[in-house]
Amino acid sequence: MNRNIVLVCSFGLSTSLLVNSMETAAKEAGAQVRIRAIGSNEVPDVVDETDVFLIAPQVRYLLNGIAAHGLPAGVIEGRAYALADGRAALHQALSLLEQGV
């Protein structure tokens, strides 16, 4: 079953840079995931189809609000985010999924 990873930033612009490299990393690792980037205003719309939220560092103040939806959520580490390090971000998403809420 595909797990849904949702990346959140202000407009879904800067996180979209990370989506491709995460997809490549997922393919390499053989992880069954679906990844997409959204703007913070879309969070309530996608909660039902999300398994884990990854939050961009510049909007890390959203963490508590997003975690309140009862799904695993974490803030992406700054340098991994900046360099679009898909492997690190994927690893973070998968370990958040493993830990659960």
Q: Are 52 and 93 in contact (CB under 8 A)?
A: yes
Residues 67-86 contacting other proteins, CB under 8 A? 78-79, 81-84
11 is catalytic: no
Q: Does 9 bind other proteins (CB under 8 A)?
A: yes
Laid out side by side, the sheet with 52-55 consists of 33-39, 3-9, 52-55, 73-75
Q: Measured from the CB atom, is 31 or 86 closer to other proteins?
A: 86
Q: Does 41 bind other proteins (CB under 8 A)?
A: yes
Q: What is the CA radius of gyration of the chain?
A: 12
- The least distance separating other proteins from the CB of residue 14, rounded to whole angstroms, comes to 4
Q: Which of 7, 8, 9, 90 is catalytic?
A: 9
Q: Are 70 and 41 in contact (CB under 8 A)?
A: no
Q: Which residues are catalytic?
A: 9
